[in-house]
Structure 1
Amino acid sequence: MDMGGGGGHDMSGMAPPSPAVRKRYTHMTFFWGKNSEVLFTGWPGTSGGMYALALVFVFALALLLEFLGCRRLQGALRRRAVAGAAVHALRMGVAYLLMLALMSFNGGVLLVAVAGHAAGFLALKAGLLGKDGGKDEAAPAACC
């Protein structure tokens, strides 16, 4: 047994890491490409079809977030405190999930998230599907 510490043996009793262990790398800057991880380990991976599905999922999350912030929905739930709180909790959960998807630093994910917010705003708040709540004035900055 080498007690000098210079023999390259680990004295803690733990085996050195196997050379077959894949080291994971997380991007810290925006990048373009389909080989990424969005929300879950290994998803979408290297498949172009799964990457497209991930982009559709992020788009839908952004659209859902705009719907949950719609004044028509908020007005309908104003009298029901528990339902309003549940919708608010769901909205915050979707917002955090969308933020985590954006933390993949994939340029495509960023673009579809912005496109989902724009489509939701256009459809729900800008009057494409009728006036939001029947009011022409802008929404208040804070609802507290």
Structure 2
Amino acid sequence: MDQKMKSHMTLFWGDAIEILFPGWPGSNFNSYMLALTLVFVLSLAVEWLSHTKFIKPTMDNITAGILQTAMYAFRVGMAYLVMLAVMSYNLGILLAAVAGYTIGFLIFGSRALDNSKISKISPCEHPADLPPLIC
């Protein structure tokens, strides 16, 4: 007997969904919670990567450029995976993604947890390795 998951075209709440891959997470509540956690961590990681500084000032331009390009590609890939997960139209997945981005920005991008004097400088004047979306 072939059972297919119903594809939603409006927001819904439920744990019987498919995200990114056929049959995943399925209709198991524990798998749904794992999917919510994965989307949360993935969106948090996008914010972390957006505000990190891996490139040292002593690196030559070629090495720094290649590293910066690789980090950008990885960040965009993770952001697209979060977007595709949200396109499942599941309200829990949407809330997990927004919560991950929000908590990630609070921790890594906002001035709330920054004790340094640099926080008064615009993010465009003191950028991380990857430029923020506002520059």
TM-score by length of 2: 0.79
- Is the Cα contact below 8 Å between 1:102 and 1:110 reproduced in 2? yes
- Note the alpha carbon deviations across 1:83-124, whole angstroms, 9 max, x for none: 000000000000110100001100000001111011101111
Residue identity over aligned pairs, in percent, reads 39
How far apart are residue 46 of structure 1 and its match? 1.0
C-alpha RMSD over aligned residues: 2.4
The corresponding residue for 2:69 is: 85
Q: What's 2:118 paired with?
A: 134
Amino acid at match of 1:123: I
Q: Which stretches in structure 2 are left out of the alignment for 5+ residues?
A: 125-133
Q: Which has the larger radius of gyration?
A: 1
Q: Could you tell me which residue of structure 1 aligns to residue 97 of structure 2?
A: 113
Which amino acid in 2 is paired with 1:73?
Answer: K
| Conserved? CA contact 2:47–2:104, under 8 Å | yes
| 2:19 match: secondary structure | strand
Q: Which amino acid aligns with 1:64?
A: A
Q: How many residues align?
A: 122
The residue aligned with 1:60 is 41
TM-score by length of 1: 0.74
Q: 1:131: how far off?
A: 5.5
List 4+ stretches of structure 1 deviating above 3 A. 20-24, 74-79, 131-135
Q: Distance in 1 between matches of 2:75 and 2:82?
A: 10
